[in-house]
């Protein structure tokens, strides 16, 4: 009978909502605040702003799923719930101190960073519990986030920018890999549709093998690399100390981490 207030129902909010309903949360126990929400499951109460929250509705948890750029303008309307609900934010870059500034010191706040594979229940979310969040609130957040994938917790909030850079932004890196693999296939002489199909299936299949295997990613790479073979020839380029994937990825994650820190301002 958990009562959930979902503020913002874009792609991530919608993915979580579907996961909750599949896990047995009743539609009648969810209120969505989003003036632009469309085609939500039957039974969900949808309202345009916080003033329309039914007076009889007391949320156990309030999920803040709006864009970080508009969060400051959204939060004041929910300050009245501080002390009555656990706030769970999935906004990139916004620290616990930011939410305390707008919701008050009494607010129980959990900061979380999910990623887009949540849409297919294959996401991973990393959480940080701010002071004032009790074990029950953390357990509830864990349960709801597990509906869309794995959950991990950190004790040091400063690590959240690196988490965002690695797993939050990470799906885009994987999609880019499939994109450039397909383009390379076309450059090597394959039809575009076949190159795209091969790249998608290879990235998706490789990811599933990685998920199911007890071997490390390094060992799986070694397993598919015959000495002197075609894979070894390709990896000699991709693993070059200068211009290879490792230094490029390090630079990319560092750039995303810096941007996350900027968003905190």
Return the CATH number at 237.
1.10.3730.10
The answer to whether residue 265 scores a pLDDT higher than 70 is no
What percentage of residues in the chain have a pLDDT greater than 70? Answer: 100
Please tell me whether residues 160 and 68 are part of one structural domain.
yes
CA dist., res. 262 & res. 248, Å (int): 21
Please tell me whether residues 130 and 222 are part of one structural domain.
no
User: What does DSSP say about strands 4-7 and 30-33: parallel, antiparallel, or unpaired?
Assistant: parallel
Please tell me whether residues 156 and 198 are part of one structural domain.
no
Q: By C-alpha distance, which of 263, 90, 245, 225 is closest to 176?
A: 245
Task: Using pLDDT thresholds of 50, 70 and 90, give the confidence band for residue 264.
Answer: confident
Cross-strand bridge partners of residue 111: 89, 128
Which tens digit of pLDDT belongs to each residue from 236-251? 999 999 989 999 999 9
The answer to whether residue 166 scores a pLDDT higher than 90 is yes
Mean of the per-residue pLDDT values of the chain: 94
**In this structure, what CATH number is given to the domain that contains residue 17?**
3.40.50.720
Please tell me whether residues 16 and 102 are part of one structural domain.
yes
Of 12-26, 211-225, 243-257, the one with minimum mean pLDDT is: 12-26
Please tell me whether residues 155 and 217 are part of one structural domain.
no
Q: What average pLDDT does the segment 4-31 reach?
A: 92
Place of tokens 């959240």: 160
Please tell me whether residues 188 and 94 are part of one structural domain.
no
- What is 217-238 written as a DSSP string? HHHHHHHT--TTSHHHHHHHHH
Please tell me whether residues 135 and 31 are part of one structural domain.
yes
Please tell me whether residues 135 and 238 are part of one structural domain.
no
Classify residue 166 by its DSSP letter: I
Task: Using pLDDT thresholds of 50, 70 and 90, give the confidence band for residue 89.
Answer: very high
Note the pTM of the prediction, 2 decimals: 0.90
Q: Which domain holds residue 210?
A: 170-263
Q: For residue 26, what pLDDT is reported? A: 94
Per-residue tokens: 118:
């949540």
The answer to whether residue 131 scores a pLDDT higher than 80 is no
Dihedral of CA 164/72/157/15: which sign? Answer: negative
Please tell me whether residues 48 and 140 are part of one structural domain.
yes
Q: How many domains does the chain have?
A: 2
């Amino acid at each position: 009978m958990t009562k959930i207030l979902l503020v913002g129902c874009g792609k991530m909010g919608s993915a979580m909502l579907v996961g909750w309903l599949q896990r047995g949360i009743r539609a009648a126990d969810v209120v969505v605040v989003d003036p632009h929400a469309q085609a939500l499951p039957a039974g969900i109460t949808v309202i345009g702003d916080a003033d329309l929250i039914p007076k009889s509705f007391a949320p156990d948890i309030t999920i803040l799923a709006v864009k970080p750029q508009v969060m400051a303008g959204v939060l004041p309307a929910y300050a009245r719930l501080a002390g009555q609900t656990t706030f769970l934010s999935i906004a990139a870059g916004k620290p616990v101190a930011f939410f305390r500034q707008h919701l008050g010191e009494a607010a129980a706040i959990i900061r979380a960073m999910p990623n887009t594979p949540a849409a297919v229940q294959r996401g991973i979310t990393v959480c940080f519990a701010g002071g004032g969040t009790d074990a029950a609130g953390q357990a509830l957040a864990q349960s709801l986030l597990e509906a869309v994938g794995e959950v991990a917790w950190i004790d040091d909030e400063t690590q959240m920018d690196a988490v965002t850079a690695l797993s939050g932004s990470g799906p885009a890196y994987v999609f880019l890999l499939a994109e450039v693999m397909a383009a390379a296939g076309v450059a090597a002489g394959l039809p575009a549709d076949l190159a795209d199909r091969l790249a998608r299936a290879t990235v998706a299949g490789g990811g599933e093998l990685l998920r199911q295997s007890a071997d490390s990613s390094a060992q799986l790479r070694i397993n598919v690399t015959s000495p002197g073979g075609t894979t070894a020839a390709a990896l000699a380029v991709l693993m070059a100390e200068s211009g290879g994937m490792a230094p490029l990825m390090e630079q990319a994650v560092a750039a995303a981490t810096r941007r996350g820190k900027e968003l905190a301002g």
